[in-house]
Structures are given as structure tokens and as C-alpha cells.
Amino acid sequence: VADEGIPVQTIAPKFTGRFNKGVDYVGDPQVFAAEFDADVCVTREAVRRFGLPASLKLSVHSGSDKFSLYPAIAQTLARRRAGVHIKTAGTTWLEELIGLAKSGGDGLAIAKEIYRLALIRFDELCAPYATVIDVQRARLPRLDEVEGWSAGRFAATLKHVPTDTQFNSDFRQFMHVSFKIAAELGPRYLDTLRACQPVVAKHVTENLYARHLQPLFGALS
């Protein structure tokens, strides 16, 4: 990379354990902590030895929602004075869905429609992500059950709060990989999103700031 003069900004090593989409880490956090710290040190040495950009940092793929790992990551970042790249597009999409559902009316209706259309294309949607999801169709809620859900029930089933008895990890991961359904709905989805913007924005902001930025970097002034 250095020899070719590529201005690389992030490097994504393969860590032990599973990094499933939209849910917490599956594995031993202490093993991850040791690997992450070692990789930060290796990255710093690579910058020094090969003249790579000083801003080079680790990227944790499917790193959003890995709440059990954030304390260890934060400790290493502070101790080594390093940065990290955590992708948050997927968790933001899910918070959009939660905000739509919580808005009720058309928002809840389109959230249910996305689930209905996604179920029809279960294999197509899951296949590209087979190594980073753990979804069994039998563990997903029945469509007729979801059709009768209230706004609060849909949101609680999707929201990443494992202590909530209504939370369904399979449902969350499946909706995570169903984003293309929303894209295919085009202007109708975007118009509904705009109409529900106050509720959606609240959920997206709280998720990114309170559940991701603060645990990793502390309060931002």
C-alpha cells in the first residue's frame, strides 16, 4: 500500500468472534480487547515504518451495536491516543424504521409493508449476508401477528434492547438486510420518512450519540 502511494485511511482486520448485523458481539470480549489493542499498536508501527498517513485507523466492520465491546475499544483509544471507524449506516436504517413505526399511521403501515414484502424475498435478502447474520425464519414473527401490532410493539420488537422481552434478534437482523425494499418503494418511502421526520430524527440522534459516540469517545462538547 505504501509503495503504491495509496492514501489509505482505514484498515479492517478480521477479529475473533461473530459480528452479526445490527446486534451485539458474539464471542469473548476479552479476546477481542487483546486483539484490538494489538492491532492498534501494529497500525501505529506501520504508519511509522512505512510512511502511511498519520490518520490511519482501524475499522470495525459491522461494528455498530456491539455495545459489549465499546468499553474495551474506548480504553484502548484513550490509552493509545488512537481513532476508530465504526460504520453506522445499518443501525441508522433500523432507527429510521423504529421512528416510522413509532409515528403510527402511514409510518407504521409502511414499516409493516416492508416486512411483508421482505418475507416474500427471504432467501434473496439473506443470502448475500449469510456470514454476518443469524436469522432463522421459524424465529421470525408471523405476518398476521405483525399486521396486528401497535406502534409500540413493532418498535420494541425491533429496538436493540436485549433485556426487553419483546425484542427479537432475528427480526432485527432480518429487517437490517431488507433495506432494499425501502429503496424500491422510492418516493413513497421518502415522503413518509419526511412526514415522520421529528420522531425519526429523535431516534436516530439518540442512537448515534448516546449509544455509539458517547461510549466510544465520551461526551462531546
C-alpha cell at 127: 443470502
Residue 122: Cβ within 10 Å count:
15
How far separated are the first and last CA of the chain, in Å rounded?
36
Rounded CA-CA distance 135/137 in Å is 6
In this prediction, residue 219 carries a pLDDT of: 67
In this prediction, residue 46 carries a pLDDT of: 95
Place of cell 427471504: 122
Tell me, yes or no, if the pTM score tops 0.85. yes
C-alpha cell at 5: 502511494
In this prediction, residue 220 carries a pLDDT of: 61
The domain limits of the chain are 10-87, 89-205
Q: Kindly report, residue by residue over 127-144, the tens digit of the pLDDT.
A: 999 999 999 999 999 999
C-alpha cell at 179: 433495506
Contact criterion met (CB below 8 Å) for 133 and 26? no
Query: Residues of the chain whose pLDDT is less than 70?
Result: 219-221
- AA letter at 175: M
DSSP-assigned letters across all residues of 89-148: HHHHHHHHHHHHHHH-HHHHHHHHHHHHHHHHTHHHHHGGGGGG----GGGSPPHHHHHT
In this prediction, residue 147 carries a pLDDT of: 98
Residue 170, φ and ψ in degrees, nearest 5:
-65, -45
